[in-house]
Amino acid sequence: MIKALFYFLLVGFMLMLGACTTAPEKPAGFVVGEEQDKGEQILPDDRTSKTVLALLDSAQASAKAGQLHNAEAQLERALRIEPRNAVLWYYMAKLRLHQNRLAEAAGLAAKSNSLAGKDRKLRADNWRIIAHARNQQGDLAGAQQAQEQVDQLKQ
Amino acid sequence: MVRRPTRKRKSTVQQQNKRYSRTKSRIKNRLLRWPHWRKTVIGLAVLFLAYVVFLDVVIRVSFEGKRWALPAHVYARPLELYPGVRLSPSQFNQELERLGYRYAYRPTEPGTFARQDDRFYLITRSFQFWDSKEPSRQLDIHFADGRLESLRDASLDKELTLARMDPPRIGGIYPAHHEDRILVQLKDTPPLLGQALIVVEDRNFYSHIGLDPRAIARALWVNLTGSGGLQGGSTLTQQLVKNFFLSNARSLWRKANEAIMALLLEWHYDKNEILEAYFNEVYLGQDGNRAIHGFGLASRFYFDKPIERLTLPEVAVMVAMIRGPGYYHPYRHPGRLLERRNLVLDLMAQQGVIRQSQALSAKQSALGVIQDRTTSANSYPAFMDLVRRQLKEDYREKDLTSEGLRIFTTLDPSVQVTVEETVKQQVKALDRQRGLNDQLQSAVVITSTTNGEVLAMLGDRKPGYAGFNRVLDAQRPVGSLLKPAIYLTAIEKARQYNLLSLIDDAAITLKAQGGVTWSPKNYDGQSHGEVPLYRALVNSYNLATVRLGMKLGFEAIEDTLHRLGINKSIPPYPSMLLGAIELTPLEIAQMYQTLASGGFRTPLRAIREVMTADGKPLQRYPIHIEQTVDGKSIAVLTSAMQEIMRSGTGKGVRQFFPEDVELAGKTGTTDELRDSWFAGFGSDYLGIVWLGTDDNQPIHLTGGSGALVVWSDMMRRLQTQSLLPSAAEGVEVLPIDPESLLVAGYSCSGKVNLAFVKGTAPEYYAPCAGGGKR
């Protein structure tokens, strides 16, 4: 009985160790600042490499600590490794949006969209960023169009 | 009570005043009574004192303030290691060589590696990057099939997902005197170095007051008797003062200054501070323009190791060189240097710094200096030129040459080396082939399609040549490189044009400026009648392009060019349509970057980050992207540009690439074959090649027979990756039968794959596909 408990704990311990030494199994999103939308996060898809997930972890930690310049550098590193990963471009867009660099945020969101394929949720969020940017920049018609895209994708 | 003491004080003050005036008059009387010579002496003494005070200020300000102007150091991109990265063992080996990692049977310290075929074991150097400090790690790396297969931290026995090598240093931005140094602290240097220095240069360093009368006497004696001696008369302090503040002139005035300043320096600072300054100041040779100062840099430069790892014979070499880095030059006069090194070792043993046996065994070893790398300061002049120009927009020249900034650039040395090797071979061959007597020149730029980083650049066919930078400064007519902008303008009007729209390739005569007429010709001199849009681009038909361009209008085309990233104003002449505008290879790269990145204008960047000398973040140059062309239009245009590489003016690429590698590009040729251009891209690299002569002579090469050959060979060596199908929504790619211009089937021959905005593709199958509606 004690032996069984011992082995049980040992296995548990080993599993814990394993979990500590490998990249996180479940990828986290990328939250920057106090986001308005507390809704479901957009996560990197299954094809995202462990390398990029590790960099995203660092970027998230940097962003949390308010070191946006570091987060930016880490996201760019991730993008050099997976330039066609639409979610990474979206995270960059979120970062820029938080910094109120709207034109850049819109550009990055559009880039993300150009690679997003059939990911409706991601595309909707990118269009939301574009709509917000256009709205803030006074391009109301453009914002309206972008918002229509959001609505259409959400159906 | 209150008044009395006041009165009392008053009386005291009065008494004192009286006493003062008495003294004053006494001094005055005495002075008056003094003879003139005394006054002169006093005056001189005061002047002298003032001068000493002045020197004192000079010394303290420069010694305590910033002591050295540190040049900015420029780094290439750091190599990122992760499982799956495309990297061959030989490429990795080259990177290690670039970084000065040394082969060791059993690596024990940072900067050493062992290799067994596809497996490397190495200890990386730690490095402070912008986003984090990369620790030194023991890496066990395995390669397979041209990729990194596994990456382990051997000390932690753990698989790694990512590790970053230290970045190769590719140059510096120097002040006028071109001094460079790596500052070291005394505590980080091997104790033997200081001991050897003192034994050889200034035996009484720790006891004298800045000057050493015994040494002066000994030097005088040696001078008078002519008997050889190792030690000079100047103390280390005097030598430091001389290098620090004074000229090299041999005058009494300088000697006197030197003595006073040496005394003052000793007065203010302790011996170790002075020794440390000496360590950093001492001149130890040249690397091209760059002056090697200080043991820190010298140890890196001659032995490729940090100062703390210098061995006894290496320490002796450093100390031996001080007396005359030119005379005892490790590469030019190794014999002399070896002899003097052994003298230094003997002296060290004689003075008890080392044992006799140590000296004996050290004397057996070779000089140990690494291979002559004296060109390293001038590598990649074209790229460095771009870095400098981009930096000058944000920094003052003085800051760049004195603050020791660390500039992290986008240069990929392995790409750069590939470009250099290809150009060297191919341009030479083309030059010979066309009998151009070495006049054929070349400019090349390679960027990353995805983020606009400049990866490599060559401004002259000779890689290290730092003269005219043709990538940035050669304004050349671009010929047909402009055509994609015209066709894109048409494609963007998706309701009017698709790639199958017919345009007329009949002869045309237009009124040009000044009332003259202009009758452009096709390259083959023929007119091809009505041709589909894609074929006019694929075969670079001039007549069809001019007709199309005239229909679209100059303004629309100029607008497209601006959206693609060309900032110049475009002259509204018909000849513009055939590329009669002058652009630099870099401007062309900017234009094609927008095409290669799917319609996102991305300013080309050579710099990623700038950090301060002590590793603090200063400025980032992040990626900027802006969508200026709709992704669908770009997808359509790109499909036609891919056809150029399959059956059009770029088909020569197939001598270098198999059919299944999809590439897109465009040739450019100018009047009388004066310029040969090629611009093209795979999914990872964009490359621009220009060939021509500086005096604008015909080079008898078209874009296809000249620049394309260089481009293809270069891209093959770079293993550029095939283009991926466009991810743009609302685009379909269909096989088209070139005869009927309808959708082809399996049984059709010669079909071409073209992209269409959804709803604009042909609705019917070609006869060879059985006909009928789709």
Residue type, A107: G
B364–chain A Cβ distance below 8 A for any pair: no
pLDDT at B706: 97
> Can you tell me the distance from the alpha carbon of B192 to that of B316, in angstroms, rounded to the nearest whole number?
9
Residues of B in contact with A83 (CB under 8 A): 450-451
Residues of A in contact with B85 (CB under 8 A): 81
A87–chain B Cβ distance below 8 A for any pair: no
Chain segment B384-394, per-residue pLDDT in tens:
999 999 999 99
Which of A114, A119, A153 is best to mutate for the B interface (most B CBs within 10 A)? A114
Residue pair B102/B95 in contact (Cβ under 8 Å)? The answer is: no
Residue pair B767/B745 in contact (Cβ under 8 Å)? The answer is: no
Which one of 3.50.50.60, 3.40.710.10, 3.40.50.170, 3.90.400.10 gives the CATH number of domain B380-478+584-625+639-728?
3.40.710.10
DSSP characters over B222-256: HHHH----S--SS-HHHHHHHHHH--S---HHHHH
- The shortest CB-CB distance from A114 to any of B83, B161, B727 is to B727
Q: Is B201 a catalytic residue?
A: yes
pLDDT at B390: 93
Average pLDDT over residues B424-432: 96
Return the closest-CA partner of residue B548 out of B539, B538, B563, B536. B536
Residue with tokens 């009124």: B511
B12-16, B321-325, B487-491: which has the minimum mean pLDDT?
Answer: B12-16
Q: How far is CA B527 from CA B508, B523, B551, in A?
A: 10, 10, 18
Question: What confidence category does residue B16 fall into, taking pLDDT thresholds of 50, 70 and 90?
Answer: low
pLDDT at B10: 46
Question: What confidence category does residue B6 fall into, taking pLDDT thresholds of 50, 70 and 90?
Answer: very low
Superfamily of domain B479-580: DD-peptidase/beta-lactamase superfamily (3.40.710.10)
Does the structure show a pLDDT above 60 at B580? Answer: yes
pLDDT at B250: 67
Enter the tokens of residue A132.
């917000």
From first CA to last CA, the distance across chain A in angstroms is 57
Instruction: Give the fold, CATH level 3, of B182-364.
Output: Penicillin binding protein transpeptidase fold (1.10.3810)
Domains plus CATH for chain A? Answer: 47-83 (no CATH), 84-155 (1.25.40.10)
A50–chain B Cβ distance below 8 A for any pair: yes
Contacts with B, A 8-27, CB within 8 Å: 21-23
Q: Is B480 a catalytic residue?
A: yes
DSSP H helices in B269-364:
271-281, 294-303, 312-321, 334-350, 356-364
Tell me what the pLDDT averaged over chain B comes to: 90
Question: What confidence category does residue A24 fall into, taking pLDDT thresholds of 50, 70 and 90?
Answer: very low
Does the structure show a pLDDT above 70 at B376? Answer: no
Average pLDDT over residues B111-138: 95
Per residue, the 3-state secondary structure of chain A, as one string, reads CHHHHHHHHHHHHHHHHHHHHCCCCCCCCCCCCCCCCCCCCCCCCCCCCHHHHHHHHHHHHHHHCCCHHHHHHHHHHHHHHCCCCHHHHHHHHHHHHHCCCHHHHHHHHHHHHHHCCCCHHHHHHHHHHHHHHHHHCCCHHHHHHHHHHHHHHHC
Helix (H) or strand (E) segment spanning residue B128: strand B127-128
Calculate how close chain A gets to B409, using CA atoms only, in Å.
Answer: 13
Residues of A in contact with B600 (CB under 8 A): 107, 110-111, 114
Contacts with A, B 377-406, CB within 8 Å: none
Cβ–Cβ below 8 Å for A114 and B631 = yes
Angle ∠(B662,B668,B671) on CA atoms, nearest 5: 160
- CATH topology of B182-364 equal to that of B380-478+584-625+639-728? no
Cβ–Cβ below 8 Å for B625 and A108 = yes
Does the structure show a pLDDT above 60 at A22? Answer: no
Question: What confidence category does residue B545 fall into, taking pLDDT thresholds of 50, 70 and 90?
Answer: very high
Buried b (16+ CB within 10 A) or exposed e, B26-59: eeeeeeeeeeeeeeeeeeeeeeeeeeeeebbeeb
- The shortest CB-CB distance from A103 to any of B84, B622, B626 is to B626
Does the structure show a pLDDT above 70 at B304? Answer: yes
Chain segment B495-539, per-residue pLDDT in tens:
899 999 999 999 999 987 777 889 999 999 999 999 999 999 999
Residues of A in contact with B161 (CB under 8 A): 23, 49-51, 53-54
Chain segment A39-84, per-residue pLDDT in tens:
678 999 999 999 999 999 999 999 999 999 999 999 999 999 999 9
Within a 10 A sphere around the Cβ of B25, how many other Cβ atoms?
Answer: 10
Q: How far is CA B291 from CA B46, B325, B402, in A?
A: 40, 11, 15
Average pLDDT over residues B202-212: 88
Does the structure show a pLDDT above 90 at B12? Answer: no
Does the structure show a pLDDT above 90 at B145? Answer: yes
Cβ–Cβ below 8 Å for A80 and B617 = no
Cross-strand partners of B142:
B119, B150
Cβ–Cβ below 8 Å for A54 and B162 = yes
A68-82, B162-176, B373-387: which has the minimum mean pLDDT?
Answer: B373-387
> Can you tell me the distance from the alpha carbon of B486 to that of B481, in angstroms, rounded to the nearest whole number?
10
Cross-strand partners of B128:
B133
Does the structure show a pLDDT above 80 at B21? Answer: no
Residue B151 gets which letter from DSSP?
E
Helix (H) or strand (E) segment spanning residue B502: strand B502-504
Residue type, B652: G
pLDDT at B348: 95
Cβ–Cβ below 8 Å for A81 and B625 = no
Which of A52, A67, A98, A111 is best to mutate for the B interface (most B CBs within 10 A)? A111
Enter the tokens of residue B615.
């590793």
* Torsion on CA atoms A132, A138, A141, A145, rounded to nearest 10: -10
- Sign of the dihedral defined by the CA atoms of residues B368, B374, B376, B379, in that order: negative
pLDDT at A16: 46
> Can you tell me the distance from the alpha carbon of B548 to that of B534, in angstroms, rounded to the nearest whole number?
12
Those residues whose C-beta lies under 8 Å from the C-beta of residue B260, and which sit 6 or more positions away, are B52, B55
Q: Under the phi-then-psi rule, with left for phi > 0, alpha for psi from -120 to 50, and beta for the rest, what region is B647?
A: alpha
Question: What confidence category does residue B430 fall into, taking pLDDT thresholds of 50, 70 and 90?
Answer: very high
A131–chain B Cβ distance below 8 A for any pair: no
Average pLDDT over residues B352-378: 81
Per residue, the 3-state secondary structure of B49-91, as one string, reads HHHHHHHHHHHHHHHHCCCCCECEEEECCCCEECCCCECCHHH
B104-108, B300-304, B513-517: which has the minimum mean pLDDT?
Answer: B513-517
CATH 1.10.3720.10 is held by the domain B80-164:
no
pLDDT at B407: 96
A75–chain B Cβ distance below 8 A for any pair: no
Return the closest-CA partner of residue B363 out of B397, B338, B393, B334. B338
Q: Which residue of A has its CA nearest to B725?
A: A115
| Active-site position among B95, B134, B201, B643 | B201
Does the structure show a pLDDT above 60 at A2? Answer: no
> Can you tell me the distance from the alpha carbon of B442 to that of B458, in angstroms, rounded to the nearest whole number?
8
Length of chain B: 774
B619–chain A Cβ distance below 8 A for any pair: no
Percent of chain A with pLDDT over 70: 78
Calculate how close chain B gets to A131, using CA atoms only, in Å.
Answer: 15
Percent of chain B with pLDDT over 70: 93
Residues of B in contact with A58 (CB under 8 A): 131-132
Calculate how close chain A gets to B172, using CA atoms only, in Å.
Answer: 23
B240-249, B410-419, B509-518, B528-537: which has the minimum mean pLDDT?
Answer: B240-249
Buried b (16+ CB within 10 A) or exposed e, B483-505: bbbbbbbbbbebeebbbbbebbb
Per residue, the 3-state secondary structure of B311-322, as one string, reads CHHHHHHHHHHC
> Can you tell me the distance from the alpha carbon of B204 to that of B214, in angstroms, rounded to the nearest whole number?
9
Calculate how close chain B gets to A80, using CA atoms only, in Å.
Answer: 8
- Judging by beta carbons within 10 Å of its beta carbon (0-12, 13-18, 19+), is residue A94 exposed, middle or buried? buried
> Can you tell me the distance from the alpha carbon of B712 to that of B692, in angstroms, rounded to the nearest whole number?
18
Provide ipTM, 2 decimals: 0.83
Going from N- to C-terminal start, the domains of chain B cover: 80-164, 182-364, 380-478+584-625+639-728, 479-580, 731-769
Residues of A in contact with B130 (CB under 8 A): 69-70, 73
B128–chain A Cβ distance below 8 A for any pair: no
